[in-house]
Structure 1
Amino acid sequence: MLENIGALLTYLIAVKDDKTGHIEVKGINSLQCLLKDFPRHIEALKKETGEAKSEDILEIYCILGTNQQIEVFIRQIRKIQYQVFNHILSDSDFDYKAYILHKLVEKKQKYNLFAQAAWLITYHTFCLEHLYSLQQFRLIGQDGKLEVYCLGMGLEYEDSRLLWMQSAAEIWIEREAPRISGRQVIINSFWLGDLKGRRIIGALPQNDGDGYFLLVEGGKKIRLNVGSTAYMNEQIGYKDINLFSINDINIILSNPVYSFGLLFQPYEIFEDWQKIFQYAIAVLDVKWTIKTLQEVYEAFLDFMGKQICECIEAPPMLTKEIFFDVYLKRIVETRFVKDNFCEI
């Protein structure tokens, strides 16, 4: 079951220098990779710390989400950790490492972000080079809606180490500007990664007179005015240049508000998920028809409305037949590109 999919898990590793007060922070998150791949990435990040002393290495897991999501996760992690401790205390021969590894593998088969995250943290707590004590603290996002629940890997409980961990988490938060968009937690690097390698075409004024924006290859729009919101994968459109662009036409043909009467907000989030969905069904060895595609797509819309975006009903303007006719053509195009790319 896909639960709490909009929340975010981040693992941070930092090396502190008590003399200079400098902290170098790196990490991975569940927008970058699947949770099952976290142990491999964590091992690689640890190797990058070089010869740093273990007491100078800070490791923090952060769950980002709404207050309600954070409370659900706290209950989950406490339940699991108590479960492991009770087994250890009641059976001196209990192989807790094998038990935790079994649970970790088991949870990979059924995607529940919080259950997987809880077992991953438990694995880190009990099964690696140290037996860690969890040190917890909370931070609140700038919008007041987002909460960040942090669990630091403590070698021993001491206030100074906890303060260093909190500083490391704050550095990451300042850099990534996490925020809730719709029902999903988004960070800067998630969107900015899409700009890598794109050329800047030029700078254009905002039609509302509020500064300028950069036009980047691919029709991407980056606001430059001071105080503007964080980058949100915006595309240039009619309101920017007073002309209909290819992107405007694509939105009309692919946005379900026109054919289903369902307006998903923010659209940038929905569009990103829809691209992934479209690619996923295109690479499946399935001969799609309008009927079979409609069943799967409507299930996708239901998921998006419940887990990722806000959804508002509106009167449709186009028929579903037009929508799925275009969608089937895009599947064919995606398969053609994929097959030719693989041959190269």
Structure 2
Amino acid sequence: MKELISSAGLLHLYLNGYEEDGMLYTQQVNTYNHIEDGFYQQLMKTAEEADKDTKVVHIFAVAGIKEKVNQVLSIIEDELKSNYQRLLSGKKIKKASSKLDKTGNIFHRCVQEFFCEQPGHFPKRMYYDYDDFIVGGICCNHLSNEIGDSVINGICSLWLERESPALCGKQLMIRSFFMRDFIGRKVVAALPEIQTGAWRLLFEGGHQVLLSEEAPYMKETLHPDDLQAFCSSNLQSILLNPIYSYGKWFQPNDICEEWHKAFIYLCAVSDKEWDVPGISKVYEHFLSILEKNICTTMNAPPFISKEQYWNILLQYIHDFRKFLKGDDEPVISKDMYQTINTRYVYLPYLWQLVDIQMPQQRFLASEFHELINHAVDEKDTYKKGTLWEDTAAYMLSNVEGFKITGRRIRAGAQEIDLSVVNTSLDDEIWQLGAYILVECKNWTTHVNIHQIRNIAHISNMKGNKTAILFASNGLTEDAQEEISRLASEHLYVVCLTADELLQLNSAQECKDLIIAKWLYLQNSVDLASVI
């Protein structure tokens, strides 16, 4: 069987824009912000809406290492020509290629549908060569050739200036994706470089960024010499580097670490009981994906045996599983989790390595409503709390992509009612983050501000961005104000009441309610007031 062209390391991109009064206006959809079906839906929605304006130009591009981009473009262009012939013959167009992986085929489908299923779109090639990488694709517009070409070149130039794309190893990086990893991380210190005098920002997790335009994608780990001691991030850099056991230096090291964190996350959220034979086989397959698509490698003498390294990985996965169940863990687990909040876009390329079993939904409205009413009407305090937790668990286990990993977990002096992890390939669900803390309050009164602050305290310790509060009788006014304040700090406490739950009649409605409330909190934040 012929190997598919992997989209790992490539950026699939849709741009549109227009010129007005000498100003350029543009928007983008790309595979570093959206995955799988979410990418298709967002791209087509954006393109169709923009196409209502005849001044708008459309650009479908692939960016990355030359060989792969040229292969992808060749397939897309050849299929466009074939599809036009099919249309002339009264046949249906082909929307997939046996040569592309899933991500490549989603982009391929977008191009074929946009140009072949809608009249008036005449494709033209666009191609920018930057020696080590290229940005190439198909574009179109409804303007005259000269004006249209000028706007397309202007939009592409504006995108290139804003994003400063660069090939890091074999992966195309852009500025917005690079910076997303720092959202939600606290700045610990600003340190000067002794030799150059340049400044660098130190973030929790041991990451540091040089404040230099010359090195926009340097995300180094704090060196032991800076503190005259080893910190947890130094240990993590050693544990996540195959150079010590495999004798290969994967570069850039920080991107290698990001992919390792995504790999370990998948291993941790799977139901598989890992052992040395199992992890060794999967890990070596993972390294082959990295070497072929993401990193350049250099040979180096190994320090430890592969068997030792595999046992270290097993312990790493075990510790991270405990963290995702709600247990307190050191900074390493928190940093791994925070990375996954944005680097979940790597998961589709690793999904086939780990057997993730998606739980079967069995939502019955009548059963759910009976649970709610039983919990609300119960008089015994202990049973009342347990039944309400059962209600929350029933709802969340029927949201596709949510997996309950722990219940009534002690976190220091606090107790977490439910721990939920994200096992989806769904853009909307990933907005909530990889780990979600769930609290259940089946009170006859409103939940007050003190409970919201307790949730915030635990969330800050864990580093999560979303908590779901099942408050059967709602919130006090000051509790709601506190939730609004926390949203301005990028901590979203989604509150669900018994009355709201009784309105739900399907698993999709359960998901929609959570997403709608999360987006309301996000959109309600006034950035100007925060600053």
Q: For the superposition of Structure 1 and Structure 2, which TM-score range results when normalised by the shorter chain?
A: 0.7 to 0.9
1:16 matched to 2:19? The reply is yes
Cross-structure match for 1:132 = 121
Q: Separation in 1 of the partners of 2:261 and 2:274?
A: 17
Cross-structure match for 1:56 = 55
Give the 3 Å change call, closer, same or farther, for CA 296–193 of structure 1 in structure 2. same
Cross-structure match for 1:120 = 110
What whole-Å deviation, never above 9, does each CA across 1:173-198 have from its counterpart, x for those lacking one? 11111111111111111110111122
1:234 matched to 2:220? The reply is yes
Shift of 1:4: 4.7
Cross-structure match for 1:197 = 184
Cross-structure match for 1:263 = 249
What SS is found at the alignment partner of 1:208?
coil
What whole-Å deviation, never above 9, does each CA across 1:293-317 have from its counterpart, x for those lacking one? 0001011111211111111121111
Shift of 1:231: 2.9
Q: Which runs of 5+ in 2 are unaligned?
A: 325-404, 407-418, 421-436, 439-531
Cross-structure match for 2:165 = 178
1:84 matched to 2:95? The reply is no
What whole-Å deviation, never above 9, does each CA across 1:150-171 have from its counterpart, x for those lacking one? 3213236622112101111111
Shift of 1:145: 1.5
Quote the sequence identity (%): 24
What whole-Å deviation, never above 9, does each CA across 1:178-237 have from its counterpart, x for those lacking one? 111111111111110111122322211124335111112322212124x43113332212
Give the 3 Å change call, closer, same or farther, for CA 46–70 of structure 1 in structure 2. closer
Q: Which runs of 5+ in 1 are unaligned?
A: none
Q: Separation in 1 of the partners of 2:282 and 2:5?
A: 16
Q: Separation in 2 of the partners of 1:145 and 1:6?
A: 14
Cross-structure match for 2:35 = 34
Q: Which amino acid aligns with 1:36?
A: D
Cross-structure match for 1:337 = 323
After superposition, the CA RMSD in angstroms is: 2.5
1:212 matched to 2:206? The reply is no
Contact kept, 8 Å, 1:16 with 1:58, in 2: the verdict is: no
What whole-Å deviation, never above 9, does each CA across 1:14-59 have from its counterpart, x for those lacking one? 2431xx111222112122222433231124535876xx96212222
What SS is found at the alignment partner of 1:271?
helix
Cross-structure match for 1:111 = 101
Q: Separation in 2 of the partners of 1:239 and 1:32?
A: 36
Q: Separation in 1 of the partners of 2:275 and 2:133?
A: 41
What whole-Å deviation, never above 9, does each CA across 1:275-331 have from its counterpart, x for those lacking one? 111111221221110111000101111121111111112111122233222211222
Q: Separation in 2 of the partners of 1:38 and 1:159?
A: 31
Q: Which amino acid aligns with 1:191?
A: F
What SS is found at the alignment partner of 2:42?
helix
Q: Which amino acid aligns with 2:85?
A: N
Q: Separation in 1 of the partners of 2:231 and 2:221?
A: 10
Q: Separation in 1 of the partners of 2:59 and 2:144?
A: 14
Contact kept, 8 Å, 1:202 with 1:214, in 2: the verdict is: yes
Contact kept, 8 Å, 1:191 with 1:232, in 2: the verdict is: no
Q: Separation in 1 of the partners of 2:98 and 2:42?
A: 19
Contact kept, 8 Å, 1:183 with 1:309, in 2: the verdict is: yes
1:7 matched to 2:6? The reply is no
Cross-structure match for 1:159 = 146
What SS is found at the alignment partner of 1:228?
coil
What SS is found at the alignment partner of 1:31?
coil
Give the 3 Å change call, closer, same or farther, for CA 198–47 of structure 1 in structure 2. farther
Q: Separation in 2 of the partners of 1:182 and 1:60?
A: 26
Contact kept, 8 Å, 2:5 with 2:68, in 1: the verdict is: no
Q: Which amino acid aligns with 1:10?
A: L
Give the 3 Å change call, closer, same or farther, for CA 208–323 of structure 1 in structure 2. farther
Give the 3 Å change call, closer, same or farther, for CA 220–5 of structure 1 in structure 2. same
The number of residue pairs the alignment matches comes to: 327
What SS is found at the alignment partner of 2:26?
strand
What SS is found at the alignment partner of 2:215?
coil
Q: Separation in 1 of the partners of 2:65 and 2:239?
A: 33
Q: Separation in 1 of the partners of 2:292 and 2:69?
A: 18
Greater RCO, CA 8 A, separation 6+: 1
Cross-structure match for 2:339 = none
Contact kept, 8 Å, 2:73 with 2:137, in 1: the verdict is: no
Cross-structure match for 2:289 = 303
Cross-structure match for 2:73 = 74
Cross-structure match for 1:224 = 211
What whole-Å deviation, never above 9, does each CA across 1:108-159 have from its counterpart, x for those lacking one? 9x7255454333211111224x441112222234xx3121113213236622
Give the 3 Å change call, closer, same or farther, for CA 242–107 of structure 1 in structure 2. farther
Q: Separation in 2 of the partners of 1:208 and 1:290?
A: 45
